[in-house]
Chain A
Amino acid sequence: MQFGILVNEGPYTHQASDSAYLFARTAIEKGHSVPRVFFYHDGVNNSTRLATPPQDDRNVSARWSKLAADHGVDLVVCVAAAQRRGINDDVLAPGFRISGLGQLVEMGIQYDRLVTFGD
């Protein structure tokens, strides 16, 4: 089954991105597919490669990047939300790309399920 995932909050302040990541990783481990994760609202802040969390904490954006590298997950950051928050191509972590809200709508149209994680 194909799952689309929508992440509406940034890293660390809310658990949303952690929950979404664990859901995505588990779905893939179980043999499902997660073709795309869409980052909206403050969720766009998950995409920056400039974050340097302490060594003993998880690195949220790096974890998403690894999921993209290992399983081909398309990490899409909403352009309008990103521009409002100072996220552009110069700061993107590997595996993330900036595109339009149409990419979110397509997840709803094309995939079997859309799961939202937010505040």
Chain B
Amino acid sequence: MLHIVNKSATERGSLDSCLAMAKSGSAVLLIEDAVYAATTGSTAAAKIQAAAAGLKVYALGPDLAARGMTGRVLDGVNVVDYSGFVDLVAEHKACQSWL
């Protein structure tokens, strides 16, 4: 299962809801405003780092760059471009967007 989160973790609870339901071994892709959670110093950073132990965590590079966050990505988070986004959807049987 690929979980896609697009909202800032400091504005909404969708990242928390996603992490609570994501099974070990599944993938979480952060896009749009959700990418802030994958950066150092964010209050969500600890959640992401804890999650990265059991999940594969990805962040969309173009969304990081558009927000000036390219140089602040947490260790353990894999940065992908749109091509990588397409690959992630193709590799997983289904995807869930936590809108």
**A interface residue numbers (CB < 8 A to B):** 1, 3, 8, 15-16, 19, 22-23, 26-27, 29-30, 32, 112-119
Contact = CB atoms under 8 A, between A and B. Distances in A.
Contacts of B86: 3, 23, 26-27, 30, 32
Interface residues of B, number: 17
Contacts of A30: 83, 86
A19 B32 contact: yes
Q: Dominant SS at the A interface?
A: mixed
Interface stretch (B16-24, B36-44, B46-54, B89-97): B89-97
B89 A113 contact: yes
Contacts of B99: 8, 116, 118-119
B95 A23 contact: no
A119 B6 CA distance: 8
B88 to A, nearest CB: 10
B31 interface: yes
Given A3-B89, A8-B99, A113 B94 contact: yes
A113 B82 contact: no
A30 to B, nearest CB: 6
A3 B94 CA distance: 11
Contacts of A114: 95
Q: Which 3 A-B pairs have the closest CB atoms?
A: A26-B82, A116-B97, A118-B99
Given A15-B6, A26-B86, A118-B99, 5 more contacts: A26-B82, A26-B85, A27-B86, A112-B90, A118-B97
